[in-house]
Amino acid sequence: MPTYWGDQPNTAPYYAGAIICFLFVLGLTLADKKNLAWTLPMIVLGIVLSWGSNFSSFNGFIFDYFPGYNKFRSVTFALIISIVLMNLLGFIGLEKLLTKGDSKQALHQILIAFGFTGGLSLLLALGAGIFSFTGNIDAQLPDWLINPIMADRKALLQGDAFRSFIFILLAAGLIVATLKNKLKYSIASLLLVFLVLIDSWTVDKRLLNESKFSRNPQRSYFTPTDADKLILQDKSVDYRVFNLINPFNDARTSYFHESLGGYHGAKIRRYQDLIDHCLANEQQEVITNLRATGTLPATGMGVINMLNTRYFIAGPSAQAVIPNPGAYGNAWTVANVQLVSSPDEELSATCEIDTTTTAVVDRSKFKLPKSKYTADGNVTLTTYEPNKLTYKTILAGDAFVVFSEIYYPKGWQATIDDKPATIVRANYVLRALEVPAGKHDIVFTFKPAVYSYGNTITTASSLLLILIVLGTLFVELGFIKLKK
């Protein structure tokens, strides 16, 4: 049931904990200025970043110019900064309080923190009626369901508010009892940790519980269908499958086959452009033709074919597998190169040209010595690995070879007969090479420099950390004595 009644289209909870909020407010009154000077700004920053487009004047700048920030799946992740620092500041304050011992000032500060957090919880529980409990999704619900949903929303708010009040009351009671020497420090510490754990655990289990990890043998999502089994009989080096049923929100097909679709929250932008402008239209054309005639369209599948789609799937049965004889294969030669002046022109032309005879190249990015090449020849994929692809060519003349692989310059390198070759982007998303006449071995390898440097730094750092730990251990055990 849609018990959430805010206005966010998609949301997930981030729970710091009622006790942590209480300790955080306590820390605000007790922590040193030097700790407050950096924790408070960072807590505020985490909250502001989580607002995303709701505070676009600031977050738009951060998104555009802060390195790596635009790679996050969701900006609400930034709340983790605030939650971690709330924990830190809360326990800094608690340590300060217990060090000072029993005093009127200490009790006064506990009372302030309790009033802000416990008082707010109690106020929310008793005054829940002031809220409307109506949400944007209510317009999609039947009239008879509106009132019960609103009553449930109110009950959930009151229940959690009372629950938070109890946890805050117990935590405050433990701290006061410790200050009054009614409880030993060690026992009080264990009890407080236990309360924080129960507070967080019981909320976390609402979303992440046993049902998320149980396997139902009667409904195994990744059991191969008859369609999958039929396609898997093809033992070729490499080909792709296009599931016509919701392909870009489906993960099953990619589990068994190289797929044109699949789901990812952050697809490569160029491939998403190709889907939106070319592939979706061709998909619809294929579906329309299959429904009308039971056959694939004779034309209009230039993008589907250049992506090496050997099979379509239109359902789970073996009869729902449609072979595509028009797939170009892993690589092919083209006679013509159509030069354009911008990415927009490149994408538009890719949707329209005959991709079996012509390739589109953006002249503003890549310089080619000529626009016509021989189309006589053969290019064969001999080995296929995620980070290495090997081809053999037999060409009658100088050729422009298009490879049915995504162009990604940050790591992919090419060689022709062990000599470096320049990879050209063709048809908006694919790789291409100028290859001289004759027999040649072409190898694509994925060797990003940042990965190599990162591995070196990680290995060196790990070894250094091990040496520091071992050195510290030997010093503590007396095997090594340091001079004073």
Instruction: Indicate the domain borders of the chain.
Output: 18-212, 226-323, 331-447, 450-484
How many C-beta atoms lie closer than 10 Å to residue 236's C-beta?
10
Q: What is the pLDDT of residue 74?
A: 83
Strand order in the sheet with 438-446: 377-385, 388-395, 438-446, 412-416, 419-421
Per the CB < 8 A criterion, the answer to whether 176 and 110 are in contact is: yes
Q: What is the pLDDT of residue 219?
A: 58
Enumerate residues 6+ apart whose C-beta is below 8 A from 476. none
Q: What share of the chain is helix, strand, coil (3-state, %, to 5)?
A: 55, 15, 30
- Going by the DSSP 8-state scheme, the letter that residue 317 receives in this structure is S
Residue stretches of the chain with pLDDT short of 50: 218
May I ask the CATH class of domain 331-447? mainly beta
d(CA 167, CA 164): 5
Q: What is the b/e burial string over 388-405, where b = at least 16 CB atoms within 10 angstroms of the residue's CB? A: ebbbebebeebbbbbbbb
Query: Closest Cα partner for 307 from 442, 426, 440, 224?
Result: 426
Q: What is the pLDDT of residue 346?
A: 96
Q: What is the pLDDT of residue 217?
A: 52
Q: What is the pTM (predicted TM-score) of this model?
A: 0.64
Q: What is the pLDDT of residue 402?
A: 97
